[in-house]
Amino acid sequence: MSYRFLTFVAYIFSFLVLAAAGGLPTSNSSGSSTTGSSGGGTSAIVNPLNALELKNGLNLVQSLVYGKKYKKAEKRLISLEAKFPQNADIQNYLGFVSRKMDQLGKSDAYYKKALQINPMHKGALEYQGELFLQYKNVEKAKANLKLLERICGVNCEEYKELKKAIESFK
């Protein structure tokens, strides 16, 4: 079989897998992607190849973050941001890696952008709350905790993590 045919079959298979998993959005509303742990919403991407590129890019970023390779993660995120500028998950991860590299002003700006794109982004609300604690602003962190409670209840991971951070801050 030719390389082109195999590539075409792989693209079709990827499309079908994404469609079956709900990874292909039907609306253009929130601008963030669906990823497993970042707390994002639905994606504005309609091209399955772009959706796959974004998903793979965010998976790579996640593995770099878990390995505490924040500079490499930031570099990859900046290239993803150039292609997907209105993606709340990318902005959230940029905020996270900036915060871990002690660039708090940049981190704050990225979290704000993520929440402008998707005001109910659970990951951005949690991490922004943790940033507020770094600024010693417990009240703002508690406000994010209340928002998380309204969005996902007291049993979601983002609520639990921020609540734990607030309690251990005192």
Question: Domain-by-domain residue ranges, the chain?
Answer: 3-119
pLDDT of residue 41 exceeding 70: no
Distance CA 31, CA 33 (A): 7
DSSP-H helix ranges across 67-117? 70-83, 88-100, 104-117
pLDDT digits (tens, 9 = 90+) for 84-129: 999 999 999 999 999 999 999 999 999 999 999 999 999 999 999 9
* pLDDT reported for residue 49: 87
Which class for 88: exposed (0-12), middle (13-18), buried (19 or more C-beta within 10 A)?
A: buried
Q: How confident is the model at residue 38 (pLDDT cuts 50, 70, 90)?
A: low
Q: What is the chain's percent helix, strand, coil content, to nearest 5?
A: 70, 0, 30
pLDDT digits (tens, 9 = 90+) for 5-33: 666 655 565 555 555 444 433 223 333 33
| pTM score | 0.74
Q: How confident is the model at residue 2 (pLDDT cuts 50, 70, 90)?
A: low
- Which tops the pLDDT comparison, 41 or 165? 165
pLDDT of residue 34 exceeding 60: no
Q: How confident is the model at residue 48 (pLDDT cuts 50, 70, 90)?
A: confident
Q: How confident is the model at residue 42 (pLDDT cuts 50, 70, 90)?
A: very low
What CATH number does the domain located at 3-119 have? 1.25.40.10
Considering the chain, what is the average pLDDT of its residues? Answer: 84
DSSP SS3 for 97: helix
pLDDT of residue 75 exceeding 90: yes
DSSP SS3 for 90: helix
101 DSSP assignment: T
